[in-house]
Amino acid sequence: MVEAFSTELDRWSWGEVGEAILGKTSAEVKTALSREGSLGLDDFMALLSPAASPFLEEMAAASRQRTRRRFGNVIQMFAPLYLSNECTNVCDYCGFSLTNRIPRKTLSPTEILQEAEIIKGMGYDHVLLVSGEAQSIVGPAYFRDALSILRPHFSNVSMEVQPLDQAHYEDMIGLGLHAVLVYQETYHRETYARHHTKGRKRNFDYRLATPERLGRAGINKIGLGCLLGLAEWRTDLFFLALHLRFLEKRYWRTRYSVSFPRLRPFEGEGQFPIEEIGDRDLVQAICAFRLLDPELELSLSTRESPRFRDHAARLGITSMSAGSKTNPGGYANGSDALEQFEIDDSRAPAEIERMLHSGGYEAVWKDWDPAYDRANATSNEPATSLLTC
């Protein structure tokens, strides 16, 4: 029987990892920076450590160089399409939490098409489907219908919804699902339990095993991440890297991305933030992941400020959203009600494209073609991005 990542995770001590990171020295940072190609996890610890802070400019330069070498000067653009804010979980950091007294809405097929029309009008050909976690309202059947509706209109449809069983993912891949993003939120079991007090999301291990089910299902790309601000960020990101390495060894035909969502203000009760992570810290995290894995896709959403995104786009990021709405029906009705969280960068996609162009980058609105789905159906070779052809 193949070992699960939960078994690997339980071999490590959160406290000991945190102490090891804090104990890294300037000499170890210099050694990590001198290496070419992918780094080891011990090197990654050094780059996350406080000892690396004085080397941030050097890390940023190396991160930019390696990103350009692998991905060129292109940044993929995507837009989230929120299908529903119904949720049966109680999570004390989320606007969709069951206990928050907000109006609830789930898009009908007609409303999904209305949102799609506006998103297409912005220039997007890559859409990310997002919803709250309410299995009886927005479950596998609903997602299959949404994929069937949207697949003719977008070359790339990805999904960020509740964890599902492997058979459901296999069905949806057959309908054109390209990628699934599933964030563990935090790898610290006690912190996870404290912030997820009701609902299916309380099951830490089922969520943790989701990328493994996706890998077995044969998904093109898996997106990983932590919700930065729930737990001590350096230690959490080490375990994220451990998870990434575990998956890359076992599901090597699948591509991987990492996102860096920081806690944002939201409507309802809850603490914000719980653990501080500043802008310099986030830059350090982005650069450390790029140096850990030059092949890794790195994504940054509109949670971050315009100033930060303008800077980070040049450091190692390979995909960005723009003009995002975090509520169901937000593109069509223009309302700010029902949001999952407040975005910070509200600039239109065209403005983001101009910003990228001024920095020598090209905004890519399409990086996948349905022809690749047909080719991969009869090939044992891993999926290939048009960015790397």
Q: What three-state secondary structure class fits 136?
A: coil
Does position 385 have pLDDT exceeding 70, yes or no?
no
How is residue 36 written in tokens?
A: 């070419």
AA letter at 370: P
Q: What is the pLDDT of residue 161?
A: 97
pLDDT tens-place string over residues 188-205: 999 999 999 999 999 999
Q: Which secondary-structure segment (H or E) carries 319?
A: strand 319-321
Q: How far is 178 from 310, CA to CA, in rounded Å?
A: 28
Which among 36, 32, 64, 56 is positioned nearest to 46, based on CA atoms? 32
Which residues are within 8 A (CB) of 184 and not within 5 positions of it... i.e. 6 or more apart? 192, 207, 208, 224, 225, 226, 240, 243
Domain range for 100 is: 5-388
Residue-by-residue DSSP string for 275-318:
S---HHHHHHHHHHHHHH-TT-EEEE-TTS-HHHHHHHTTTT--
Phi, psi of 54 (to 5 degrees): -65, -15
pLDDT tens-place string over residues 282-329: 999 999 999 999 999 999 999 899 999 999 999 999 999 999 998 899
As to burial, measured by CB atoms within 10 angstroms (0-12 exposed, 13-18 middle, 19+ buried), residue 110 is exposed
Q: What three-state secondary structure class fits 232?
A: coil
Question: For the chain, what is the domain count?
Answer: 1
Q: How far is 15 from 149, CA to CA, in rounded Å?
A: 47
Does position 384 have pLDDT exceeding 70, yes or no?
no
Phi, psi of 349 (to 5 degrees): -55, -40
pTM above 0.85, yes or no: yes
Q: Which secondary-structure segment (H or E) carries 374?
A: helix 370-377
Does position 1 have pLDDT exceeding 90, yes or no?
no
Q: What is the pLDDT of residue 139?
A: 96
List alpha helices for 132-203, DSSP H.
140-150, 166-174, 189-195
CA atoms within 13 A on the CB side of 226: 28
Does position 372 have pLDDT exceeding 60, yes or no?
no
Q: How far is 121 from 119, CA to CA, in rounded Å?
A: 5
332-359 mean pLDDT: 81
pLDDT tens-place string over residues 86-101: 999 999 888 888 988 8
CA 183 remoteness from chain centre: 7
Task: Determine how many CB atoms are found less than 10 A away from the CB of residue 371.
Answer: 9
Does position 163 have pLDDT exceeding 70, yes or no?
yes
pLDDT band at 268 (very low <50, low <70, confident <90, very high): low
Task: Give the position of tokens 């509520």.
Answer: 327
Query: CATH number for the domain including 157?
Result: 3.20.20.70
pLDDT tens-place string over residues 43-71: 999 999 999 999 999 999 999 999 999 99
